[in-house]
Amino acid sequence: MVGTFDEAAASYDSVGVDFFTPMGAELVRRAAIRPGDHVLDVGCGRGAVLLSAAAAAGPTGRVVGIDLAPAMAELTAAATAHLPGVTVQVGDAQQPAFGPGTFDVVTAGLVLFFLPDPPGAVAAYRELLRPGGRLAFSSFAQFDPRYERAMKALAAHTPTPQRREQAPGMFGSEASLRAALSAWSRIRITEFTQVSRFAGIEQWLTWVGSHAGRAVLAAVPPDRLAAATSAAEAELAGARADDGSIQLTTAIRVVVADR
């Protein structure tokens, strides 16, 4: 997975589609980051959460972003070099290498479900927080079913079966989330939906190639790409708006919990 994100880093969240950036901004809003807060953003990617967190923490705050993909960390570090109080480095979201009580807030935007042990990571974050600190993370509550069918259509044209990861364990329900956070207090679980628009199938494919879906798209042989594209486009037909654009709705779940 690290290799996939390294390959996608240059185009990640930068193909003209509103997806990760507004989702990150909404996570920060619900996290209620305040001026002066010290924030750790795990799995920071290209800064969807990080940049909003930096704006909320202000010049008196400090925001540290870590990402396990070196290309992601390098590009985001360069893009944020002008921002005082912001640092980005390679780091593991499973077990961040910081001392106890270092941060006021830990954020994790659409990343925990990629980790080998999400409950273990959540426990590690609790140790990084000061008393009264809080954790804010997001996960996918529901993909647009037309998107899921289109991705399956692409995968059907690969030579070997493509297994798309599903949110495991603690992400299965509100009850399982609360159970995983039993050591925390004031657990707030909310959801919101976001509509993302694509000019057409070509932009949709470009977008798929710019995130984790790249693994499926890259597995389609060149001589089968046209057929795979047609199959995916057929599944997306119901998402066409009057202007010809493709519009997909994604539901996002946000969890905020106090240490």
Evaluate if residue 161 carries a pLDDT over 70: no
> For 111-156, what is each residue's pLDDT tens digit?
999 999 999 999 999 999 999 999 999 999 999 999 999 999 999 9
Q: How far from chain centre, in Å, is Cα 177?
A: 18
Can you give the pLDDT at residue 228? 96
Can you give the pLDDT at residue 166? 56
Q: What percent of the chain has pLDDT over 90?
A: 85
> For 27-42, what is each residue's pLDDT tens digit?
999 999 999 999 999 9
Evaluate if residue 164 carries a pLDDT over 60: no
End-to-end CA distance of the chain: 30
Can you give the pLDDT at residue 15? 83
- Measure Cα distances from 77 to 34, 40, 65, 80, 175 in Å: 23, 14, 9, 5, 37
| SS3 track for 121-153 | HHHHHHHHEEEEEEEEEEEEEECCHHHHHHHHH
Evaluate if residue 9 carries a pLDDT over 80: no
Indicate the average pLDDT of the chain: 93
The answer to whether the beta carbons of residues 228 and 220 sit under 8 Å apart is: yes
Give the tokens for residue 27. 């996570």
> What is the mean predicted confidence (pLDDT) over 161-173?
71
> What is the mean predicted confidence (pLDDT) over 212-226?
91
Whole-number Å distance between alpha carbons of 220 and 160: 9
> For 101-110, what is each residue's pLDDT tens digit?
999 999 999 9
Q: How confident is the model at residue 78 (pLDDT cuts 50, 70, 90)?
A: very high
Burial of residue 237, with CB atoms counted within 10 A of its CB: 0-12 exposed, 13-18 middle, 19 or more buried: exposed
**Residue 189 contacts by C-beta under 8 Å, 6 or more apart in sequence?**
174, 177, 178, 253, 254, 255
Evaluate if residue 3 carries a pLDDT over 80: no
Kindly report the backbone phi and psi dihedral angles of residue 247, in degrees, each rounded to the nearest multiple of 5, phi listed first.
Answer: -125, 120
Sign of CA dihedral 233, 236, 239, 245: negative
Burial of residue 47, with CB atoms counted within 10 A of its CB: 0-12 exposed, 13-18 middle, 19 or more buried: buried
- Measure Cα distances from 100 to 32, 37, 111, 123, 130 in Å: 22, 16, 22, 12, 8
Whole-number Å distance between alpha carbons of 73 and 5: 11
Domain ranges of the chain: 2-144+164-198+252-258
> Per CATH, the architecture of 2-144+164-198+252-258 is what?
3-Layer(aba) Sandwich (3.40)
**Residue 235 contacts by C-beta under 8 Å, 6 or more apart in sequence?**
146, 149, 150, 152, 153
Q: How confident is the model at residue 13 (pLDDT cuts 50, 70, 90)?
A: confident
